[in-house]
Structure 1
């Protein structure tokens, strides 16, 4: 878990954008004018009438979403959207109908093409309801670990959402709850549809692997204000794009399954249902309540790894065996001499 955004830094790259409000009956369209850049669309939708009204009040109160200053954007309420989007676009209605959460995923922002879903939710954290999700069909300035920039084509499930916590000791463990919810959501879909097991595994700390190839990843960032941690969670999952590694539907084809294909909307709804269940357990009982399931899903139990340490001017290598996680979320390992050690990620893998 990286704490990479300070309140001042969060506001430095994005600026409020002027808009013209047009109300048509129940819905609205807000046209945002920008000086330059190719236009994109953000569609707002809530699961309930009250949550749809949040979108309207957001614009009526002149609280403008902060967006990259080189991109022209039009905002519209989903109920008023008459634009014929691509058939491969994210299925908002189907997602909302499938969602059964009380909090997460109920307020949605969707774009066919966006710089970064993570920037949208993190830069507008105080404006959007907690649990809001931003989804893009294509993302061309996505964020990864170590501030890597990713371009994500069609076929990926790309989303970021928000949550808030008071216990700072629990914040680094959120990424593990998210990773577990993704893997278990995919298993639930397989069970529901009578599919062979698509056994996505967790590579610590925040990568997802299928058949020994990376198929997805998690990014968590946080800021601390008013005695609360504002957490933005980003998830990328290869659903129907086999390059550069593999994807869920490609794996099904390898198993000669031709009667079913994973859909992003179904995975996202299943994810939020599972995440809300796991998150409530996590908050009430700690990560210990999920550890057994997590260890069944990750790749590292009993794994032998080489640890390099500097001893005076020499680089010393020791072989250790992974035992599990420490209370702070790092790897717990034991050396051949019986000495326990804590392993940290290298920040790049």
Structure 2
């Protein structure tokens, strides 16, 4: 059963989750902060964490090797996306931007962060799944266009949304553990932004252009470029260039 810990203010829900893991937190524990003073995103970036937005970290444990556990980012994305689709009006377009962004009407409305903790004397690894959603406000100075649910005319109840996400993470992590990555990957691809289109991609200060063909079993982005078929482990999709012929 999912357990929730609520805080008015935290430095970071990820940091608090680490403390809870060391104190013996159970699988499915969720840390919630109504505001974060030092929220963080992928690759060390700052995550704007204003009052009224959603900030949580979900704790789970696994014996899977790290290379396979990377799939958890996509499991989380699907779990959160499917929960949101259940409450969004049919006119709203929800999609996923590789590797961990959630888009609403082609603008970033949320993100996911995955961190791992090895535990002394134990084989299992603790995985911390951080989620931030712009329910009310959104950052202005960002590389990719952003928005909030309220900006798009969608009004979500914070506590209902976070509890729904916690339950959805329970279900989809269980599905992944029992059935593997294939069904999760199929669900992710159904809402993948720019799939089958020409994109520009930045990795290690290099810019690549090619057709986004999907993801492999390890969650790597597959890009068909003039240099050949590339499988990219880290970086940012900067933009869509044009629809593929």
TM category (shorter chain) comes to 0.7 to 0.9
Map of 1:273 onto structure 2: 167
Runs of 5+ unmatched residues, structure 1 = 1-102, 254-260
Q: 1:328 aligns with which of 218, 227, 243?
A: 218
Structural RMSD (CA): 2.6
Map of 1:341 onto structure 2: 230
Bigger relative contact order, structure 1 or 2 (CA pairs below 8 A, ≥6 apart) = 2
Name the CA distance, whole Å, in 2 between partners of 1:154 and 1:212.
24
Alpha-carbon contact 1:189-1:267 (below 8 Å) kept: no
Q: Residue 112 and residue 316 in structure 1: after superposition, are their counterparts in 2 closer, same or farther (change >3 A)?
A: closer
1:202 shift after superposition:
0.9
Map of 2:193 onto structure 1: 299
Q: Residue 123 and residue 347 in structure 1: after superposition, are their counterparts in 2 closer, same or farther (change >3 A)?
A: farther
1:90-123 per-residue CA deviation (whole Å, 9 max, x = no partner) reads: xxxxxxxxxxxxx3xx222111122111100013
Name the CA distance, whole Å, in 2 between partners of 1:230 and 1:221.
8
Verify: 1:132 aligned to 2:132, yes or no. no
1:249 shift after superposition:
2.3
Map of 1:287 onto structure 2: 181
**Within 5 A, what are the aligned runs for 1:147-162?**
147-162=44-59
Task: Give the secondary structure class of the aligned counterpart of 1:158.
Answer: strand
1:270-321 per-residue CA deviation (whole Å, 9 max, x = no partner) reads: 21222222211111111101222211111031122356899xxxx9976421
1:211-241 per-residue CA deviation (whole Å, 9 max, x = no partner) reads: 2221111111002232212111110001122
Q: Which structure has the larger Rg over C-alpha atoms?
A: 1
Q: 1:174 aligns with which of 41, 52, 72?
A: 72
1:347 shift after superposition:
7.0
**Within 5 A, what are the aligned runs for 1:69-108?**
103=1, 106-108=2-4
1:109-164 per-residue CA deviation (whole Å, 9 max, x = no partner) reads: 11112211110001331322221111111111111122223341112111011001
Count of aligned pairs = 229
Q: 2:15 aligns with which of 116, 119, 124?
A: 119
Name the CA distance, whole Å, in 2 between partners of 1:119 and 1:327.
29
Map of 1:82 onto structure 2: none
TM-score of the superposition, structure 1-length normalised?
A: 0.60
Name the CA distance, whole Å, in 2 between partners of 1:292 and 1:126.
35
